[in-house]
């Protein structure tokens, strides 16, 4: 089996909620390994109640189907952290209009973010809601251009 080709294919599977970033860039793919029965992909969902978990598993199986039997295992410990988002993933989030975490999950306990607008790069922003379209994001607004945007909270 060509594990390198399978890794390349897996790296192209987009997150269903944020299609600009792949599952690998988001950091939820923990491992891809060959087993006697085929491939096993170990995933850690962004949070335990993520509504896209089953869809993500189906997308992974479909993307790797040509490689034979694919088993998807959910590993919930350690819990996913925004620290696992790759540098490329952070850049893609920014270009997509979602400000990536500005500090590590550990620092988030002590740090109030000072965010720049992903649209106009303005530095005067305000939080509108602690929760955005998903529990892992919050809603902000740029005071300079007036546009709302989301911030991927460090967790």
Say if residue 75 is in the same domain as residue 126: no
pLDDT grade, residue 59 (50/70/90)?
Answer: very high
Nearest to 52 by CA among 76, 19, 17, 10: 17
Q: Is 42 exposed, middle or buried (0-12, 13-18, 19+ CB in 10 A)?
A: middle
- DSSP, residue by residue, 40-105: EEEE--SSTT-TTHHHHHHHHHHHTGGGS-EEEEE--SSPP-GGGS-HHHHHHHHHHTEEPPSS-H
Q: What is the mean pLDDT of residues 43-55?
A: 89
What pLDDT shows up at residue 109?
62
- Enumerate residues 6+ apart whose C-beta is below 8 A from 4: none
pLDDT tens figures, 74-121: 999 998 989 999 999 999 999 999 999 887 777 766 666 788 999 999
| Percent of the chain topping pLDDT 90 | 72
Say if residue 98 is in the same domain as residue 130: yes
What pLDDT shows up at residue 4?
93
The whole-angstrom separation of Cα 64 and Cα 69 is 8
Say if residue 110 is in the same domain as residue 76: no
Looking at 80, 106, 122, the residue that finishes a domain is 80
Looking at 16, 46, 80, the residue that finishes a domain is 80
Say if residue 15 is in the same domain as residue 30: yes
- How many structural domains is the chain composed of? 2
Residue 107: phi, psi to the nearest 5? -70, -25
Q: Look up the domain containing 37 and give its range.
A: 3-80
Looking at 32, 62, 80, the residue that finishes a domain is 80
The whole-angstrom separation of Cα 16 and Cα 28 is 13
What pLDDT shows up at residue 24?
98
Nearest to 26 by CA among 37, 38, 12, 36: 12
């Amino acid at each position: 089996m060509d594990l390198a080709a399978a890794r390349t294919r897996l790296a192209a599977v987009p997150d269903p909620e944020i299609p600009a970033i792949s599952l690998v860039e988001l950091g939820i793919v923990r491992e891809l390994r060959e087993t006697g029965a085929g491939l096993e992909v170990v995933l850690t969902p962004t949070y335990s109640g993520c509504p896209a978990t089953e869809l993500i598993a189906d997308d992974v199986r479909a993307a790797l189907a040509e490689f034979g039997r694919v088993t998807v295992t959910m590993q919930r410990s350690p819990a996913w952290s925004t620290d696992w988002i790759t540098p490329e993933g952070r850049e893609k989030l920014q270009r997509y209009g979602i400000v990536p975490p500005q500090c590590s999950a550990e620092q988030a306990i002590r740090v109030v973010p000072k965010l720049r607008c992903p649209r106009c790069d303005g530095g005067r922003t305000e939080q509108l809601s602690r929760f955005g379209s998903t529990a892992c994001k919050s809603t902000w607004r740029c005071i300079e251009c007036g546009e709302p945007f989301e911030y991927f909270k460090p967790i």
